[in-house]
Chain A
Amino acid sequence: MKSIKASGIGNPIDRIEGHLKVAGKAKYASEFPVENMVYAQGVNSTIAKGKITSIDTSEAEKQNGVLAVITYKNAEKLKNYPKDMTNFSLTTVAPVFQDRQVHYYGQYIACVVAETFEQAQYACRLIKVTYEEETPDIHLDKNRGKAYKPGESADFSRGDMDAGMREADVTLEQTYTTPIEHQQPMELHAAIVNWNDGKVKMYANQQILNQATTSISETFGIPKEDVQIITPYIGGGFGSKLNVYKHITMATMASKMIGRPVQITVTRHQMFTNTGMRQFDEQEMRLGAKKDGSLTALAHHTTSHTAKNLQYFEACGNVSKMLYKTPNNAVTHRLIPLNIQCPSSMRAPGEATGSFALESAMDELAWKLKMDPIDFRIKNDTQVDMGADKPFSSRLLIECLRIGADKFGWENRKMQPGTNKKGNWLIGYGVSAASRRAPYMKTSAKVVLELNEAAVNANIKMDATDIGTGTYTIVAQTVSEYLGIPVENVKVEIGDSEFPVTPGSGGSWGAASYCNGARKACENAIAKLKKKQNITESEEIEVAELLQQNNLTTFEAEGTAEPSEEYKKHSVFSFGANFTEVWVDKDTGMYRIKRMVNVGSAGKILNPKTAYGQIIGGLTMGAGMVIAERTQVEPNYGNFITRTLADYHVPVNLDMANIDVVFLPEDDKIANEMGVKGIGELGITSVAASIANAIFNATGKRMRDLPITPEKLIEAGLEPGVA
């Protein structure tokens, strides 16, 4: 049955949708031609806390082409957030214009609908608002008294932390801080919504369709079946397109109100204020170790903020529960409600930031112990997830570290900071260990086979999304593999909520879930065809022949894959190691990341090309966390002063290094039948620490506050010294 494997899984084939994208033929949410369409645009509050006292829309309404202005005065009643702080989940409603209250700067307070985009945009400027302003809660420091524990899962402890610290020969207590960051995918959030006869159909760039339809249906109080979302291509999400945001509600409300399809595109500026972000995190680490390097205690306490009416927390401390063997362990998370929009998932929420703190602290402790940081990590390796009290399904962290060290040339590292110099450059090497949960979730797919001469074409349908990661390609390769047909004969149809249900793209579960769902549908098709002819399951037979024997030219089957009992009994993670060489200019504080080596054990690699792409993207984002990504909050007014991509600095090509990516072979059938694990978020995890550790090795300066800018390095005083 598997005679044609050239294009099956494991091959680095080009993206099957690549040409469409390069040729501009791949249609994104805002690009669908819809007749009779009009444009909506949101207006944002210019205070962070208070009440709207008046809102004058008369001038805007008078303008050419303006069809409606929606405010709290004429908005329909929607389901609102529950009164108590509710968790901002994937199905949380997205109410808008329900009252006069303003909870954060940039909150939508009105929406203009007009015949053209330009008319809508202009009319927005003519709306006059007055407020009864209150002093917003903006500063973390001034509001520490309001910190609270966001639910039972926020805290964890094992053993006796204080006893563990007393037992230690060497201890470390340090605080690490990371700023507000924004996802800012290239493609702006956008939707074209058509409300028709109580049903709503929209083109909208949502990462997870089955959850988004729930949110929309609950917001408007209509059956879930009456909400359809179509999104064949998404230009990046990085978490910002997981949740349903209020622009969707505005456009839906507008379409219902005026009876025409409504297009809305969130502006780049609104992408800072209205589509989620990573919050500021302050992480206090306490570590203790014996002289031989064995950890005796590890505590990880995180304080961050959430919105006034919605709760989200990034579990920074989770990594400290599972990465190392630690007899005594304590993890807490506290949130302070502020007048800033609700944070949301962004690029490995929890891991990206948590691993910066843990892996910096591990490096600091290794230095205090005078131990090589790789040896120190290996010394504390564990094959059991002590936080969950379950064995890992597979864990090749030691191998990642050793093989990476070899590839990178770690033996050339000078232990003493500030001793590796070249002209004006101080050169440093850094390492960090990475781990990322590899979730796998129930996924359905439907496959339709068609016999055409002697060839079989397959059409696979699922409500999966491709956020630029390569879903189309790996699903096609999976179908090719399990049906034994060339990948060219596979048509992948995704991005429609009417297709069989998947968990969508997010949390690095997409690849494993989608491919197993597709596999199951193909296996079911073959099993059914065999059964009809009484062919035993083990017999190898081409799918074309099976159809012929059945006298069928077409056949369809569905399949649902889901985690096994074994899966539930294990902790399933991907692991990795990051190595970075950094050159710091001794005078100017500017630095260059020269080289990066990333070694990962991430299960079965479906397509090395798309997999490398994920890691390279992850490393770049990790570098972004260190180099300059930071959204600054104005201390007196509470708005983000970082408001465009000209001042929210993401890395440019010149900032990035020579990157070497290695995947270790791994066969983990506990993870799932195909042995596929998540890759995307593994790539960003702990990268920041490997760079910060390299900067320490170069300069002797320990940088604990991201990003590490020239300003901060100059202030740290760059003359090489020893911490």
Chain B
Amino acid sequence: MRPFSYTNAKNKEQALQTFTKTSHYLGGGTNLVDLMKEDVERPDQLIEVANLEYKNITKNNEGGYTLGGMLSNSETANHPDIRKNYPLLSMAMLSAATAQIRNMATNAGNLLQRTRCPYFFETSMPCNKREPGSGCGAKDGMNALHAIFGYSDKCIATHPSDMCVALAAMNAKVEVQKTDGSSRTIDFTDFHRLPGNQPEKDNTLEPGELITVIHLDEPKFSDHYYYLKIRERSSYAFALVSVAAGLQIKRGVITKAGLAMGGVAHKPWKFTKVEKYLEGKKPNKVNFKAAAEMAMQDAKPFEGNKYKVEMGKKAIVRALTQAFEREA
């Protein structure tokens, strides 16, 4: 590692005031510290925020719950209120990484984890995300793990989080504090961004903005939900393709659908059009298959990741079926 200074922030004010352009907030460190060891991230200062007060799960006034940004992934996923009201979120979070990593990882850090693109991790390779202008090694190289939706000429990476796929299928908002003391709330769908001409930017946060809490709206998918994660081994592997599916079913008709896919784009890929399509329909194979076709029709795979189109369709049908068939 390169030398850096370390500040253990006592409160949010200290964290925000200490922040400089070359600082990084430190959550559980499970992603940031790895990247520092790889010489990919080179902060001059780490500001530990994992000990700040945002470690609770509370009811909010939209009929939903608010998650502390500094609460661990394990505590969040295993919290009785989350398991009861947002089992889709819980299921997605528990499919990630390992128990040890989930114990360390914070909710804020999870949102901000960086891509697993192997070129991004290897400093001797070209990568526009790591070093803007150096080129994208993956595009003409190894791209089995890369995007099929929404990529640009500059970057075809995917966002690796499982938690975020569930959050995209639900409705969530991220609250952040700015260094000037003000705060703002960002719709989850606007939180991550597509690479466009600036692949170095994963999300819409401004420098120094500190994630404090995540707001979830009123629970809708507590009866019919499924998180399907297709991966190369049974645990401790990132998704090749994953699907978060939530259904609200009343009298045999879908009244609300949530559907998002992981492992296919620079951000958790929410199928808004397909969600709308499913609403008002009967939960059956025919409609699920049609939904899957509709979802994948704009996919543009590369040489190495053609499999994702078929895999994606199968995964959608399966996840919706499992969500529907689940005994409430």
Do A and B belong to a common assembly?
yes
- Mark out the residues of chain A between 104 and 129 whose CB falls within 8 Å of any chain B CB in the assembled complex: 118, 121-122, 125
Q: Is A714 on the interface with B (CB-CB < 8 A)?
A: yes
Q: Is A259 on the interface with B (CB-CB < 8 A)?
A: no
Q: Is A709 on the interface with B (CB-CB < 8 A)?
A: yes
Q: Is A636 on the interface with B (CB-CB < 8 A)?
A: yes
- Mark out the residues of chain B between 121 and 176 whose CB falls within 8 Å of any chain A CB in the assembled complex: 121-122, 124-125, 137, 140-142, 144
Task: Specify which chain B residues have a CB less than 8 angstroms from the CB of A98 in the assembled complex.
Answer: none
Task: Specify which chain B residues have a CB less than 8 angstroms from the CB of A637 in the assembled complex.
Answer: 124-125, 137, 141
Evaluate contact between B125 and A643: CB separation under 8 angstroms: no
Evaluate contact between A590 and B230: CB separation under 8 angstroms: yes
Main secondary structure of the interface of B (DSSP, over half): loop
User: Known contacts A709-B232, A715-B307; is A46 also within 8 Å of B318 by CB?
Assistant: no
Least CB separation from A627: chain B residue: B233
Evaluate contact between B233 and A649: CB separation under 8 angstroms: yes
User: Known contacts A587-B314, A588-B318, A711-B311; is A639 also within 8 Å of B235 by CB?
Assistant: no
Task: Specify which chain A residues have a CB less than 8 angstroms from the CB of B122 in the assembled complex.
Answer: 639, 641, 643
Question: What is the CB-to-nearest-CB distance from A115 to chain B, in angstroms, rounded to a whole number?
Answer: 15
Task: Specify which chain A residues have a CB less than 8 angstroms from the CB of B307 in the assembled complex.
Answer: 711-712, 714-715
Size range of the interface on B?
20 to 34
Evaluate contact between A118 and B232: CB separation under 8 angstroms: no
Task: Specify which chain B residues have a CB less than 8 angstroms from the CB of A628 in the assembled complex.
Answer: 232-233, 237
Picked from A122, A588, A649, the residue with its CB within 8 Å of the CB of B1 is: A122
Task: Specify which chain B residues have a CB less than 8 angstroms from the CB of A632 in the assembled complex.
Answer: 142
Task: Specify which chain A residues have a CB less than 8 angstroms from the CB of B318 in the assembled complex.
Answer: 424, 587-588
Q: Is A710 on the interface with B (CB-CB < 8 A)?
A: yes
Question: What is the CB-to-nearest-CB distance from B252 to chain A, in angstroms, rounded to a whole number?
Answer: 23
Evaluate contact between A714 and B234: CB separation under 8 angstroms: no
Question: What is the CB-to-nearest-CB distance from A585 to chain B, in angstroms, rounded to a whole number?
Answer: 8
Q: How far is the CA of A639 from the CA of B1 in the complex (A)?
A: 22
Evaluate contact between A710 and B311: CB separation under 8 angstroms: yes
Evaluate contact between A590 and B311: CB separation under 8 angstroms: no
Q: Is B228 on the interface with A (CB-CB < 8 A)?
A: yes
Task: Specify which chain A residues have a CB less than 8 angstroms from the CB of B237 in the assembled complex.
Answer: 628, 649
Evaluate contact between A122 and B142: CB separation under 8 angstroms: no
Least CB separation from A125: chain B residue: B39
Q: How far is the CA of A651 from the CA of B310 in the complex (A)?
A: 25
Give the interface centre of A424, A636, A642 by most chain B CB atoms within 10 Å. Answer: A636
Task: Specify which chain B residues have a CB less than 8 angstroms from the CB of A715 in the assembled complex.
Answer: 306-307, 310
Task: Specify which chain B residues have a CB less than 8 angstroms from the CB of A488 in the assembled complex.
Answer: none
Least CB separation from B117: chain A residue: A641
Picked from B118, B311, B317, the residue with its CB within 8 Å of the CB of A643 is: B118
Q: Is A654 on the interface with B (CB-CB < 8 A)?
A: yes
Q: Is A595 on the interface with B (CB-CB < 8 A)?
A: no
User: Known contacts A639-B122, A651-B233; is A588 also within 8 Å of B311 by CB?
Assistant: yes
Evaluate contact between A711 and B144: CB separation under 8 angstroms: yes
Task: Specify which chain B residues have a CB less than 8 angstroms from the CB of A710 in the assembled complex.
Answer: 230-232, 240, 311
Task: Specify which chain B residues have a CB less than 8 angstroms from the CB of A709 in the assembled complex.
Answer: 232
Task: Specify which chain A residues have a CB less than 8 angstroms from the CB of B137 in the assembled complex.
Answer: 634, 636-637
In the complex, per-residue mask of B207-237: 1 if CB is within 8 Å of any chain A CB, else 0: 0000000000000000000001011111111
In the complex, per-residue mask of B296-319: 1 if CB is within 8 Å of any chain A CB, else 0: 000000000011001100110110
Evaluate contact between B235 and A654: CB separation under 8 angstroms: yes
Evaluate contact between B234 and A587: CB separation under 8 angstroms: no
In the complex, per-residue mask of A359-398: 1 if CB is within 8 Å of any chain B CB, else 0: 0000000000000000000000000000000000000000
Task: Specify which chain A residues have a CB less than 8 angstroms from the CB of B233 in the assembled complex.
Answer: 627-628, 649, 651-652, 654-655
Q: Is B12 on the interface with A (CB-CB < 8 A)?
A: no
- Mark out the residues of chain B between 276 and 328 whose CB falls within 8 Å of any chain A CB in the assembled complex: 306-307, 310-311, 314-315, 317-318
Q: Is A223 on the interface with B (CB-CB < 8 A)?
A: no
Evaluate contact between B317 and A587: CB separation under 8 angstroms: yes
Q: Is B65 on the interface with A (CB-CB < 8 A)?
A: no
Q: Is B2 on the interface with A (CB-CB < 8 A)?
A: yes
Q: Is B269 on the interface with A (CB-CB < 8 A)?
A: no
In the complex, per-residue mask of A600-640: 1 if CB is within 8 Å of any chain B CB, else 0: 00000000000000000000000000011000101111010
Q: Is B119 on the interface with A (CB-CB < 8 A)?
A: yes
Question: What is the CB-to-nearest-CB distance from A504 to chain B, in angstroms, rounded to a whole number?
Answer: 33
Q: Is B3 on the interface with A (CB-CB < 8 A)?
A: yes
Main secondary structure of the interface of A (DSSP, over half): loop
Evaluate contact between A634 and B232: CB separation under 8 angstroms: no
Evaluate contact between B315 and A588: CB separation under 8 angstroms: yes
Evaluate contact between A627 and B310: CB separation under 8 angstroms: no
Task: Specify which chain B residues have a CB less than 8 angstroms from the CB of A641 in the assembled complex.
Answer: 118-119, 122, 141-142
Question: What is the CB-to-nearest-CB distance from A90 to chain B, in angstroms, rounded to a whole number?
Answer: 32
Evaluate contact between A122 and B235: CB separation under 8 angstroms: no
In the complex, per-residue mask of A668-683: 1 if CB is within 8 Å of any chain B CB, else 0: 0000000000000000
Question: What is the CB-to-nearest-CB distance from B33 to chain A, in angstroms, rounded to a whole number?
Answer: 13
Question: What is the CB-to-nearest-CB distance from B157 to chain A, in angstroms, rounded to a whole number?
Answer: 14
Q: Is A133 on the interface with B (CB-CB < 8 A)?
A: no
Q: Is A647 on the interface with B (CB-CB < 8 A)?
A: yes
Task: Specify which chain A residues have a CB less than 8 angstroms from the CB of B306 in the assembled complex.
Answer: 715
Picked from A634, A642, A643, A644, the residue with its CB within 8 Å of the CB of B141 is: A634
Evaluate contact between A125 and B2: CB separation under 8 angstroms: yes
Evaluate contact between A121 and B125: CB separation under 8 angstroms: no
Least CB separation from A119: chain B residue: B3
Task: Specify which chain B residues have a CB less than 8 angstroms from the CB of A714 in the assembled complex.
Answer: 307, 310-311, 314
Picked from A588, A646, A654, A655, the residue with its CB within 8 Å of the CB of B314 is: A588
Task: Specify which chain A residues have a CB less than 8 angstroms from the CB of B232 in the assembled complex.
Answer: 627-628, 649, 707, 709-710
Q: Is A592 on the interface with B (CB-CB < 8 A)?
A: yes
Q: How far is the CA of A125 from the CA of B230 in the complex (A)?
A: 37
Q: Is B116 on the interface with A (CB-CB < 8 A)?
A: yes
Q: Is A185 on the interface with B (CB-CB < 8 A)?
A: no
Q: How far is the CA of A627 from the CA of B231 in the complex (A)?
A: 10
User: Known contacts A587-B317, A652-B234, A655-B233; is A635 also within 8 Å of B142 by CB?
Assistant: yes
Evaluate contact between A634 and B228: CB separation under 8 angstroms: no
Least CB separation from B125: chain A residue: A637
Least CB separation from A645: chain B residue: B236
Evaluate contact between B141 and A590: CB separation under 8 angstroms: no
Task: Specify which chain A residues have a CB less than 8 angstroms from the CB of B119 in the assembled complex.
Answer: 641
Q: How far is the CA of A644 from the CA of B118 in the complex (A)?
A: 10
Question: What is the CB-to-nearest-CB distance from B286 to chain A, in angstroms, rounded to a whole number?
Answer: 16
Q: How far is the CA of A647 from the CA of B233 in the complex (A)?
A: 11
User: Known contacts A46-B124, A118-B1, A641-B118; is A590 also within 8 Å of B231 by CB?
Assistant: yes
Q: How far is the CA of A652 from the CA of B97 in the complex (A)?
A: 12
Task: Specify which chain A residues have a CB less than 8 angstroms from the CB of B3 in the assembled complex.
Answer: 122
Q: Is A589 on the interface with B (CB-CB < 8 A)?
A: yes
Task: Specify which chain A residues have a CB less than 8 angstroms from the CB of B2 in the assembled complex.
Answer: 122, 125
In the complex, per-residue mask of B35-56: 1 if CB is within 8 Å of any chain A CB, else 0: 0000100000000000000000
Evaluate contact between A639 and B124: CB separation under 8 angstroms: yes
Question: What is the CB-to-nearest-CB distance from B125 to chain A, in angstroms, rounded to a whole number?
Answer: 7
Could you give 5 example pairs across A and B, Cβ below 8 Å? A587-B317, A646-B116, A651-B233, A652-B236, A710-B311
Additional A-B contact list (4), CB under 8 Å, known A122-B3, A636-B140, A644-B121:
A588-B315, A634-B142, A637-B141, A642-B118
Residues of B within 8 A of A (CB): 1-3, 39, 116, 118-119, 121-122, 124-125, 137, 140-142, 144, 228, 230-237, 240, 306-307, 310-311, 314-315, 317-318
Which are the 8 A-B pairs with shortest beta-carbon distances?
Answer: A46-B124, A654-B234, A641-B118, A587-B314, A628-B232, A711-B307, A714-B311, A655-B234
